A and B are shown apart, each in its own frame.
Chain A
Amino acid sequence: MTPGPARRLIPAYLVTGGRSRPAGPALDRLAVLVRTDEPVPDDAGTQARRLCELLEPGALTVVECAAHLDLPVSATVFLATDLAATGLLLTRPPIPSAGQIDRSLVERLLDGLRSLP
């Protein structure tokens, strides 16, 4: 925890165009965003353009993008959902296939933690 916001937040409605729900299933905070080769259209909004530029060199989660762009997580979900719908981004769930944490995952985590230097 760090105290208070150091700067003004961009209101979510400016990013979402006044909509209250994204045009697709809600993305997890830890959904992975990957930029595709699709060129950014000339009429893309400022925040959409910033998100695409951030992801140009590599993949990040929704929450990391929100932090880097100083956007609310909810607004970042909106942006990413829209950009995925138009083919500019690919999204991947944090846990592949079943989507649940199971024993084998926790066992792998434990093995990995124990092997850390």
Chain B
Amino acid sequence: MDSAPSPDRTGVGYLPAAARTLMKLVVTGPFGVGKTTLIRTLSEIATLHTEEAMTQSSTRVDSTAGLPDKTTTTVAIDFGRLTVPDDLVLYMFGTPGQERFLPLWEDIARGALGALVLVDTRRLADSFAVMDMVEEQGLPYAVAVNRFPDAPAHSDEVLRKHLDLDDTTPLVQCDARERRGSIDALIALAEHVLTRMPQPEDAS
């Protein structure tokens, strides 16, 4: 065995020594909306994933009806990490927004700062159920429209109307492949989280 292995010889991105506080947020939305792309854009480590067991609620889904009983379904949850100067580490978990993932969703979202709901303007209606679920969870969220090159562009005003967004819910338009816009989406979410927290004078 080598006496002095290089710490990163395996490409494992170990936590910075200064890291003291770790937070997480959920990146959610319909399939194919760009959740993993956004996480990859922002993450300082190669995107990782865990295989998570899908429990009872998956049995309602039609697409599994032809499978034998007792088939264990797993879903891969992608995640990444972003260190924010100097000692905060933000984890981003890409979590599917469908109702059948609810038990898994609750597990991952517990203690999360909030959720970033990604929207594709070609499939606006697909995002309604996702926003309903996030609202039911009581998690603060911001909506980020992932602007695909071939998708129709709309003004914020039109999108807000079609998504039936509350006036206080932030809406940003970004390209999940671009870092600046993706960071701005995180900033919009964090600002929104802050406005929902009690003011210092209200705290006991």
Evaluate contact between B15 and A106: CB separation under 8 angstroms. Answer: no
Evaluate contact between B23 and A107: CB separation under 8 angstroms. Answer: no
B153 at the A interface (CB under 8 A): no
Please report the C-alpha to C-alpha distance between residue A81 and residue B36 in the assembled complex, in whole angstroms.
30
A1-B94, A28-B111, A113-B186 known; A94 vs B22 contact (CB < 8 Å): yes
For A, the interface residue count at a CB cutoff of 8 angstroms equals: 41
Evaluate contact between A1 and B108: CB separation under 8 angstroms. Answer: no
Contact of A106 among B12, B24, B194 (CB under 8 A): B194
Per-residue CB contact flags for chain A residues 22-62 toward chain B (1 = under 8 Å, else 0) read 00000011101000000000000000000000100111110
A110 at the B interface (CB under 8 A): yes
Evaluate contact between B36 and A94: CB separation under 8 angstroms. Answer: no
Evaluate contact between A96 and B20: CB separation under 8 angstroms. Answer: yes
Task: Give the distance to chain A from B113, nearest Cβ to Cβ, in Å.
Answer: 6
Q: What residues of chain B lie closer than 8 Å to A113, measured between beta carbons?
A: 84, 183, 186-187, 190
Task: Give the distance to chain A from B69, nearest Cβ to Cβ, in Å.
Answer: 18
A18 at the B interface (CB under 8 A): no
Q: What residues of chain B lie closer than 8 Å to A67, measured between beta carbons?
A: 48-50, 79
Please report the C-alpha to C-alpha distance between residue A83 and residue B162 in the assembled complex, in whole angstroms.
52
For B, the interface residue count at a CB cutoff of 8 angstroms equals: 50
- Which A49-92 residues sit within 8 Å CB-CB of chain B? 54, 57-61, 63-64, 66-68, 70, 72-73
Evaluate contact between B197 and A106: CB separation under 8 angstroms. Answer: yes
Please report the C-alpha to C-alpha distance between residue A72 and residue B84 in the assembled complex, in whole angstroms.
28
Evaluate contact between B15 and A9: CB separation under 8 angstroms. Answer: no
Contact of A63 among B79, B94, B113 (CB under 8 A): B79
Evaluate contact between A112 and B200: CB separation under 8 angstroms. Answer: no
Q: What residues of chain A lie closer than 8 Å to B35, measured between beta carbons?
A: 1
Shortest Cβ distance from A31 into B: residue: B22
B175 at the A interface (CB under 8 A): no
Q: What residues of chain A lie closer than 8 Å to B7, measured between beta carbons?
A: 57-58
A112-B85, A113-B183 known; A105 vs B50 contact (CB < 8 Å): no
Per-residue CB contact flags for chain A residues 1-30 toward chain B (1 = under 8 Å, else 0) read 111110001000000000000000000111
Contact of B76 among A2, A28, A60, A101 (CB under 8 A): A2
A57-B14, A106-B193, A109-B90 known; A95 vs B22 contact (CB < 8 Å): yes
Contact of A4 among B50, B76, B111, B198 (CB under 8 A): B76
A29-B108, A32-B15, A63-B91 known; A2 vs B78 contact (CB < 8 Å): yes
Task: Give the distance to chain A from B180, nearest Cβ to Cβ, in Å.
Answer: 9
Evaluate contact between A105 and B21: CB separation under 8 angstroms. Answer: yes
Q: What residues of chain B lie closer than 8 Å to A68, measured between beta carbons?
A: 12, 48
Q: What residues of chain A lie closer than 8 Å to B190, measured between beta carbons?
A: 106, 109-110, 113
- Which B60-103 residues sit within 8 Å CB-CB of chain A? 74-79, 81, 84-86, 88, 90-91, 94, 96
3 tightest CB-CB pairs across the interface, nearest first? Answer: A58-B14, A112-B84, A67-B48
